[in-house]
Amino acid sequence: MAVGNSVQNAAITVAAFGVERAIGGLRGGVAGLVVQPVVWAVTGRGPDAADAFIYGTGAVGAFAGALIALPAIVVGVVKAAVDDHTASLVAAARLDEPEAVRGGIFGIDDYSFAASNGHIQAMTIASYGGVVWQHPNGVYLFLKDASDTPVCDYVPRRFRQIYRPLIPLQLNGDRVQWTSARP
């Protein structure tokens, strides 16, 4: 199983904490929360209304930052694990295809950053002239040529479902007509 995204996520998280610790604690705001009351105690002067307001605003911001940081880390770890799992499914599916085309086979998450579910992305790619198939392991794939253009006439060796343009290509507005089929 691929672990590149998980390793990268962990390295970024550790690096971020290292930088934050180097500049004064888990967060600069947290360091400020500790320093200011010490200054008030040493000088014997408590906060005035403006100081209390500023300190309170900083405390809320630091607290909210801590509340947001943990879920963000968890979401990042989960997303990295999902990306690694998807990459391993794509790698396994490539092995079922001829060696000559393996380098041009991509998961549909490489087609669009805003990829919704596989079925919708598959229809979109087919409507632009590319062949998409769902491998028996569940991952959706498509093939690009050396110029990054989706290939319109490829037939995969193994698939659960295939989405492809009608050949010869037939315009349908600014896209092409397509069809889907199961083996």
pLDDT digits (tens, 9 = 90+) for 98-122: 999 999 999 987 665 555 678 888 9
- Residue 134: per-residue pLDDT: 95
- Indicate yes or no: pTM above 0.85: no
Average pLDDT of the residues in 30-50: 60
CA count, 13 A, side-chain hemisphere, 169: 14
* Residue 142: partners with Cβ closer than 8 Å, 6 or more residues away: 105, 106, 108, 111, 122, 125, 130, 131, 132, 133, 150, 151
Task: Return the higher-pLDDT residue of 145 and 61.
Answer: 145
Tokens of residue 60, six digits: 């809320």
Strand-pairing partners, residue 140, are: 134
Tokens of residue 4, six digits: 């590149």
Tell me the one-letter amino acid at 137.
N
* Residue 39: partners with Cβ closer than 8 Å, 6 or more residues away: none
Closest CA to 157 of 97, 90, 91: 97
User: Average pLDDT of the chain?
Assistant: 76
Strand-pairing partners, residue 142, are: 106, 132
Closest CA to 133 of 180, 72, 80: 180
Closest CA to 158 of 122, 133, 126, 130: 133
- Spatial distance between the Cα atoms of 141 and 131, rounded to a whole number of angstroms: 8
- Residue 19: per-residue pLDDT: 46
In percent, the amount of the chain with pLDDT more than 70 equals 55
- Residue 117: per-residue pLDDT: 72
- Per-residue pLDDT tens over the stretch 120-169: 889 999 999 999 999 999 999 999 999 999 999 999 999 999 999 999 99
- Per-residue pLDDT tens over the stretch 167-183: 999 999 899 999 999 98
